[in-house]
Structure 1
């Protein structure tokens, strides 16, 4: 007859099992995040490759804001640069079915679609499906994106508030209500760039040193959509991940803070450069160096 385990022996077994779980579980989670991080990097690279294929075909970068008629909101044709990439990312079906650039956002059958290369696998909120809780498109189900175009680093600065005067005090960005960096950015993508074409010849810093797009994870109270132009770009005026993904408040509550780059990855985020390479950036990057990589001007 076999002897039953004593209470002490049972507690020892439970303790050993708990210890093993404490050792193994973090390793499993880390391995999963490493895999998701690699997939995220590849998705962003596909976005960059599609952008450069667009450039090769048309001789310019896609505009950050395509307004064919109307202003903003569901009855406008304010399609984003990401929407224009669909034919160059093997999604002609969605581009044609959604009548991108021809239909208004309200009319389009593409608005609610999720596009796999626009999503980071580490973002469980985006992977749940389209959302309908943002500003101009309130109540409409809209596909999300984790990647946005880089407007540069001058968002929120105007003639009375230059970046050089602000220095590293990013919290002062935009308190004067300036839209200068939004409508006339010093990076590749910005809202009103349909008024001025940008191409490789404008990238004076070199294609391997200049940011094209980066991670900008949607927040719980503010999503980022791929079809709508107002949701498709962000700024390097403030440090990366300085406004947390889980955050609901911004200080000050102004667009540069709302539209800074951020991710669900611990310690940093990915940026695609103009040569379609993708780099990992630490949250601890020097702010001046970070801003310099976001602009197309040489010598900064």
Structure 2
């Protein structure tokens, strides 16, 4: 009789165990490679947005402003022709207000229906797994991960309606000549994470990276960032970065009050936001400077250096980061 060759049960289990070990060893490397690719794509997005800002400046002799009206358009909307979205730009009637009504009861102007909920890939960081869509109870909006620099964030330098020390505010007309600290020392745009939308609590802080603390009381711009930071929360929201086209501060602006990926949540007062740059990139976040260069900023950056990078003319000498 001829014997038949076969694997024993023990041998099969050993082979399976070895395969499992190899997979466990390879999986982190695969994940790191994927994150490296996503980080490069994010860098490319910021580079293209920086170039778009430069091209807008070349055409208008200034950076795009945030609309002076709360029912107007964002600076991100104004650079659409320079990020290969000229056709979308032509669909927008900038002579018509984006929103109708006033206060918290504003709604989308029907003239612009079908535009604000369009996803623009260049405005999205591929490392953010959050929901880019935001529904305010009436309309659905598409968001962006890339925010424009309002200022250093301390004092009133977070309030885009209070002439802050960054590059953008309501009705701003800043140009390269106004960046006296130097374009290589001043942030143009920085990234953030989408808010938690309906997945986070409105009464309890459960995810500082995805929630905004709401602070009430007093008129807009009447509280310093330090007051807002220490004030009790009147609630929490996941609305951050909810619309690339609206002027609301927590949708499109950023400042340097908190360090990157801060463990403290961003905070808002009448829509103005006291904030931090946030990302899912391990160890830090990415920015594009006013000279068009893109940098990765570690979470360990000195806070005074970080805030100096958001100031256009404070005379600071930022330290290496």
Give the TM interval when normalised to the shorter protein.
0.7 to 0.9
* 1:18-97 matched pairs, under 5 angstroms: 18-67=20-69, 71=70, 76=71, 78-97=72-91
* 1:216-235 matched pairs, under 5 angstroms: 216-220=192-196, 221-224=238-241, 225-230=243-248, 231-235=251-255
The root-mean-square deviation of aligned C-alpha atoms, in Å, is 2.3
- Secondary structure of 1:131's counterpart equals strand
> What residue is the counterpart of 1:131 in the other structure?
134
Whole-angstrom CA distance in 2 between matches of 1:252 and 1:92: 34
> What residue is the counterpart of 1:169 in the other structure?
none
Alignment partner of 2:298 out of 264, 282, 295: 282
Q: How many residues align?
A: 258
Q: Per the alignment, do residues 84 and 257 of structure 1 end up closer, same or farther by CA in structure 2, a change over 3 Å counting?
A: closer
Q: Per the alignment, do residues 82 and 46 of structure 1 end up closer, same or farther by CA in structure 2, a change over 3 Å counting?
A: same
> What residue is the counterpart of 2:259 in the other structure?
239
Q: Per the alignment, do residues 63 and 111 of structure 1 end up closer, same or farther by CA in structure 2, a change over 3 Å counting?
A: same
Q: Check whether the contact 1:243–1:258 (CA below 8 A) recurs between aligned residues.
A: no
Question: Residue by residue, what CA displacement relative to the aligned partner does 1:243-284 show, whole Å, maximum 9, x if unpaired?
Answer: 47xxxxx48776787632101111111100111111110011
* Structure with greater helix percent: 1
Q: Which structure 1 residue ranges, 5 or more long, are not aligned?
A: 164-178, 245-249
Alignment partner of 2:186 out of 195, 203, 210: 210
TM normalised by structure 1 equals 0.79
* Structure with greater strand percent: 2
* 1:188-207 matched pairs, under 5 angstroms: 188-190=167-169, 192=170, 194=171, 196-207=172-183
Whole-angstrom CA distance in 1 between matches of 2:95 and 2:146: 20
Question: Residue by residue, what CA displacement relative to the aligned partner does 1:115-153 show, whole Å, maximum 9, x if unpaired?
Answer: 111011111224xx5331xxxx43311111000001111
Alignment partner of 1:268 out of 264, 279, 284: 284
The offset of 1:91, in angstroms, is 0.8
Q: Check whether the contact 2:42–2:125 (CA below 8 A) recurs between aligned residues.
A: yes
Question: Residue by residue, what CA displacement relative to the aligned partner does 1:1-44 show, whole Å, maximum 9, x if unpaired?
Answer: 54332232122111101110011111111101100100000001
- Secondary structure of 1:280's counterpart equals strand
Q: Which structure 2 residue ranges, 5 or more long, are not aligned?
A: 100-107, 197-237, 317-321
Question: Residue by residue, what CA displacement relative to the aligned partner does 1:157-184 show, whole Å, maximum 9, x if unpaired?
Answer: 15xxxx9xxxxxxxxxxxxxxx756522
TM normalised by structure 2 equals 0.74
1:293 equivalenced with 2:292 (yes/no): no
Q: Per the alignment, do residues 233 and 11 of structure 1 end up closer, same or farther by CA in structure 2, a change over 3 Å counting?
A: same
Q: Check whether the contact 1:95–1:110 (CA below 8 A) recurs between aligned residues.
A: no
- Secondary structure of 2:141's counterpart equals coil
- Secondary structure of 2:184's counterpart equals coil
Whole-angstrom CA distance in 1 between matches of 2:53 and 2:268: 32
- Secondary structure of 1:117's counterpart equals helix
Whole-angstrom CA distance in 1 between matches of 2:279 and 2:149: 15
Whole-angstrom CA distance in 1 between matches of 2:160 and 2:94: 27
